[in-house]
Structure 1
Amino acid sequence: MEKAIKVINELKRKRLIRDYELIKEAFEYSIETKYKKAKTKIFQPEYLITIMMQVFRPEDKERIITMLDGTEIDKNQLMTILKKHHLKE
């Protein structure tokens, strides 16, 4: 978790994170999994899309489209998250 906080702080300094509450919430609802032999957590796709929409760099636009086309997304959850973080009216 300490490494994750360092990464988040670095992204905040680079102004890539505008809504720290969104990141905290994404961590709270992250999915625990194993990568190789290490336990790790990953963000739900709905949170990843929301974060990318907030940052909205050119490469994020492409990733959002790819995720919407190729990943099972809970559209109701996505809309709820977008509204909560003022990215959708």
Structure 2
Amino acid sequence: MLFKKKYYVCLVCGFDRLRGPLYKNGLPDYSLICTCCAFQPGYDDLDQGYTFDTYRAEWLANGAEWFMKKEQPKHWDVKAQLKNIGIEL
């Protein structure tokens, strides 16, 4: 029997391959960093005063560059990825 690995979606950039949820029972997973936009719950939101919208806007304004380049899909499309969180560019 094959088991499918469960992935989660980044609420900032829409990357759909996070290894866990950003928050569980309302608490941030401090160990989780999005390999796409580098958002880290508990540090980049509470510590820096960012909302998902302001962090996303800054990430997009800075060119929407991947944090971990080796993880970037070959045919990555930021517009398609943002649709995972209901954002249309």
If the length of structure 2 is used for normalisation, what is the TM-score?
A: 0.31
Larger helix percent: 1
If the length of structure 1 is used for normalisation, what is the TM-score?
A: 0.31
Larger strand percent: 1
Higher relative contact order at CA 8 Å, sep ≥6: structure 1 or structure 2?
2
